[in-house]
Amino acid sequence: MPEPPGPGRLRAALRTTVALAACGAVLAAAVSCGGGTSGVAAGRRNVTVFAASSLTDVFSDIAAAFEAAHPDVEVTLQFAGSSRLATQINAGAPADVFAAADERTAAHVAARQVAVFARNRLAIATPPDNPAGVTGLDSLTGDDLVLALCAPDVPCGALAEQVGGPELVAAADTREPNVRGVLTKVLLGEVDAGVVYLTDVAAAGDAVRGFAIDHPASTAYPLVLLSDSPEAAGFVDFVASPPAQDLLAAAGFGAP
């Protein structure tokens, strides 16, 4: 295995260096292909928005509409479970606006201004063929059924515990870090059912089957303003305005 010292080793080292450089070039090419619009254009101001996973689709649309209305402002979006985003913000992450999936999580960060902009309810998502014959909340507690819930500390997990009680918690086979993680496991067919938001079922379209949960509990989405920048305040106002509220309603979110 050890190569003899001398030109052979040098050549081998050179070969490795060339290979690594090629890898770097491939990565760079991939980045430049994918990110035509993501580069920070000169002169554009930035608003960084941290948003709950369940807002993934609708906030991408809202940000695009906001950018169309304010060509000089660029919105940077980051989606994750609300509790992770709150932890990151408290650790100094440079977010200007935080859209959390419940008020308890939003209360963990020091805010300048908080206003509820949407509501959501839970639903059950199953693969299209519904392999375990799910009919509703009561049918989730069987032993044979593979069930995914959100982690206890993310809003969708806390709400699921409130709605389904300890029987539902005991039936869970995995607790995913955010609601889109639950949805993915359903989309892949790796679980028989997942408890997600009504809006996640709508966003997945025909790829999942949705079942309503007959329970009045809902969650309120607060929008938290974290910075003094006028653009950030502008974005917060925009989310409350009719164009954004129409997008939220179209995605299945309830009015604040």
Partner 1 sequence: MSAAAPKMRGHTSSATPAPPGAASAPPRRREVRGRAVGGLWLPAGIGLALLVVPVIGLLQRAPWSDLPSLLGSARLRDALVISAVTSAVAAGASVLLGLPLALVLSRCEPALRRLVRVAVLLPMVLPPVVGGTALLFALGRRGLVGQWLDTTFGWSLPFSTAGVVVAATFVAMPFFVITAEAGLRSADAGLVEAARTLGARRSVAFRRVMLPQVAPSLAAGAALAWARALGEFGATITFAGNLRGRTQTLPLATFEALEAGRPAEAIALSVVLLAVSVVVLVSLRDRWLTR
Q: By CB under 8 A, name the binding residues for partner 1.
A: 1-2, 5, 81, 83-84, 86-87, 90, 108, 146, 148, 151-154, 172-177, 185, 188-191
CB of 239 to partner 1, least distance (A): 25
> In terms of CB distance, is 109 or 232 closer to partner 1?
109
Sheet holding 122-126, edge to edge: 174-176, 147-150, 193-197, 122-126, 209-212
> In terms of CB distance, is 86 or 134 closer to partner 1?
86
> In terms of CB distance, is 60 or 184 closer to partner 1?
184
CB of 152 to partner 1, least distance (A): 8
CB of 83 to partner 1, least distance (A): 5
CA angle 27, 31, 34 (to 5 degrees): 135
CB of 121 to partner 1, least distance (A): 23
> In terms of CB distance, is 31 or 69 closer to partner 1?
31
CB of 174 to partner 1, least distance (A): 3
CB of 2 to partner 1, least distance (A): 4
175 in Cβ contact with 150 (< 8 Å): yes
> In terms of CB distance, is 1 or 33 closer to partner 1?
1
> In terms of CB distance, is 39 or 128 closer to partner 1?
128
